Structure formats: C-alpha cells, structure tokens
Structure 1
Amino acid sequence: MLSFYLIPLDIEMSHQPSILPLVEQWEAFVKAKAGTTVDDFAKWILLKEKPESIPTKNTTPFYDPLLQEAQLQGDYPAIPTSQGLAIHIVIRLFKAIRFYFKPTLQKHGFKSLEEFLFLATLSWKNNISKKTLCRTNMTDIPTGIDIIKRLIQQGLVGEQENPEDKREKLLLATDLGKQKLFQLFSDPEGSADVMADMNTEERLIFMRMIDRLNNFHTKVYHQQIDDR
C-alpha cells in the first residue's frame, strides 16, 4: 500500500521547477545594476520578458487630475512608489474633507477643523486633562493648548479641578458647547458624503481598511510620544 502512494509522489517531485534559472536571472540583474530591491527585480524581469506589461510614462490607472497633469509635464516620477502615492492621496482626501466642511464650521463659529474635533471629543469623553485631549486628537501640546484656550474663551469648554491632583485642570464640554455641536450636526449643509458613490459593500470594505490603518498608526503614535 505504501508503494502505491510513493509512486505519484516521486512523479510529482520530478516535475518540481528548478530555481537555478531564477538565480541566474538575479545574478544578471545585479550585474546590470538595475535596482536594489525585490520589487526592482520583479519589474526588471517583467520588462525583460514582456515590455508591454510595464506601464509607460503616459499611462496611469489613477484618475487624479494632479497626477495626470504631472504626467503631461513629465513630473510623474516624483511619485515613484505606491507608498508615496498613498501619502499623496490621503493628504488630498484630508484637504477635500476640510474644503467640504470649512463653510459649515465657520458658519457655526469654529475657526478650524481642529477646534471642532477637540470639542466633539469632549462631548463623549468629559473630564480629561489637556494633555490627554491633545494626544487623543494627535495634536502637539503647544498647538493643542492654543485650541483649548480659544474654546474656553468662547464658553464652549469648561475647567474643573482634578480631585486626584489639585494642580491639574480637567476639561469638559459646557452646555453651550454641546448645543453648538448639536446645531452643527443638524445642519444639512454639513452632511457631505465623504464616501462619494461607493455602494454598501464598498463602504464596509473601505471602513474596515481605514479602521485598520487608524488603529495601527494610533498605536505607533502613542508609542513614539511615550518614548519622547
């Protein structure tokens, strides 16, 4: 019975591809000085075997006017990696969100998106220190303190002594602050759909992906802040 199972195994093993051609290709890649990474090696192989499979300077799968214009000007190599492109897109999305909501924020008396975010945080996380509020919003302490001062001056945020440490003040959203948030949330002009024309399935996938990124980078941020 054992020989019955060994025969197919021997046949299958005899058809295993050799890695020698790949090693030879790698040696040629190194001699050609075509790059230093595995990604460079993969692109070099594809270009060598199927030149048409490598996107040319005049083609891009991204529908971004800035990138298309950059291609026309010959500046597209300024964003040569998916990492750089991801950073570029995230920054543009943040700017788009700020653009959408700026008129509504100004209408309700907020000078910046950060002011709104600080007050919104206190609406569900009362009695926290200034440092904690800044860290929660990933804002450096000096900038965060200025934002908190403006909110206090407007009567949107109040202070009270920390019962566990008399030297420290704890922050809370005042009734006026909560009322202002309610007015903003109820404003139909402030309800831009940042997920655009995504369907339900796409929205769920998108939310899972950005939540994963947010959790990862929030953890890294707090670890690095603690080390400083």
Structure 2
Amino acid sequence: MMYNLVNELLSLVKTYENDSLNPSEDLNAFRRWLNERDPGKATSKKQSPVWKGKASGRSADSVINTSLVHLYRYAKMHAKAAIAGSAFSTPDEFIYLITLTSAGEMSKTELIKQNIHDKPAGTLIIKRLFDKGLIVQKSSGIDKRSTIVQITEKGNDELKQSMDKIRLASANVTTPLSGNEKIELIALLGKLEDFHYAKNFEKN
C-alpha cells in the first residue's frame, strides 16, 4: 500500500477543509480546489479576458463599471424575492437592520452614511422602519440635535425570520465562484470601497 501517498492525501484533505469557505465531500469540488492551488497554474501568466467592444477600444474601466451595475441589479432581484411576504418593503430596510445588529445603535446620519445613501433617501428608509416598529429613535446624550436609532425586539424577530432566505439570496449571487475566488473578490472590492469611502467621507 502506498502509505506516503495516502498520508499526503489526508494532509491535503485537512488543508482543504480548513482553507475552504464551504468545504464539500464531493470529489469534483476537491479536484477543483486542487487545480486552483496548483503552483504551476498560479505562477503562469493569466490570459487577458475578452469582452464586447474590446477590439474597438472599449476600456476595462467601462466593462467593470457596467458589470458592477448589472450585478447590483441581479442582487436586488434575489433580495426582493427573499423578502416577499415579510415585513420588509425593500432590501434596503433589512440591510439597515443588519447594520444596526452588527454595529449597534448609532446616529441616523451615521446609519445613512454607512449604507451610502443620500440624506433624503436614507431618512425615508429609517421612517418606514420606525413606522413598522422595527427600530426606535432617541435623542443623543452628547448632541441634542442628533437622533440615535436602534433595532427593536420586533426588528430582531423579523430579521431572524428572513435571514435564511437572505443568506440564500446572497449565496445565489456568488454561486459560480470558488472559495478562493470569493476571497480574491472580497479583497478587490474592499480596495475599491476603501478608496471611494475615503474620498467621499473621510475628508468631510
């Protein structure tokens, strides 16, 4: 029996289980993971992708911007399907609640800022959540002009009831990507977000 090979395979399986976001016992998934971590493949020069209009001068910037807009629309379709029949009227409402759940209570201005909305649009979302009893508002003890918002018990319950569908909607958007590709994409999108956040908010 080839014990060295068996031991190496066991070691690879342990690495696969620890490194992958959603490790599967499917052999094809393990094989794909092995191919992705192949050093020869990693060091080889990546082929430049082909896109419509490239030959006539359409830039990579144009393609990226269009893809981001399209992906936002696809994500919105999945999110709308996930909240059908729930207390939420729009995906923005549960996103605001998720922000309050993860970051805690905050001012209305900060909540709107974190979700990259202009003030009128963000104020309307907060008003709908307040009218439904999903959040409460109170005056800030530091700045009387500032209003603090926090999620209510009802808001937490509504969010919990919808979370499985919301997680599925999120997974549907990224279904074709492997675990490693998702990590790479998070890093790239984070770089873009950090740049634009600093440019638009940190100087204010």
Give your verdict on TM over 0.5.
Answer: yes
- 1:171, CA displacement in angstroms? 0.3
Alpha-carbon separation, structure 1, partners of 2:145 and 2:109: 14
Instruction: Give the one of 68, 88, 106 matched to 2:84.
Output: 106
Structure 2 stretches lacking a partner, 5+ long: 1-48
- 1:189, CA displacement in angstroms? 5.4
> For the structure 1 residues 189 and 199, does the alpha-carbon distance in structure 2 shift closer, same or farther, using more than 3 Å as the test?
closer
Instruction: Give the one of 173, 187, 196 matched to 2:175.
Output: 196
Secondary structure of the residue aligned to 1:170 is strand
2:101 is the counterpart of 1:123 = yes
Structure 2 counterpart of 1:61: 50
> For the structure 1 residues 124 and 199, does the alpha-carbon distance in structure 2 shift closer, same or farther, using more than 3 Å as the test?
closer
The number of equivalent residue pairs is 154
Task: Name the amino acid aligned to 1:108.
Answer: S
Using the size of structure 1 for normalisation, the TM-score is 0.61
Alignment RMSD (CA, Å):
2.2
Structure 1 stretches lacking a partner, 5+ long: 1-59
**Higher-RCO chain (CA-CA 8 Å, sequence separation at least 6):** 2
- 1:150, CA displacement in angstroms? 0.5
Secondary structure of the residue aligned to 1:219 is helix
Contact 2:78 2:172 in 1 (8 A): no
- 1:166, CA displacement in angstroms? 2.9
Using the size of structure 2 for normalisation, the TM-score is 0.68
Secondary structure of the residue aligned to 1:167 is coil
Higher alpha-carbon Rg: 1
- 1:112, CA displacement in angstroms? 1.5
Summarize deviations over 1:146-199 as a string: whole Å, max 9, x none: 110000000001012211123332100001111111111123754533222222
Contact 1:160 1:171 in 2 (8 A): yes
Structure 1 counterpart of 2:195: 216
Structure 2 counterpart of 1:36: none
| Amino-acid identity (%) | 23
Point out 4+ residue stretches in structure 1 off by more than 4 angstroms. none
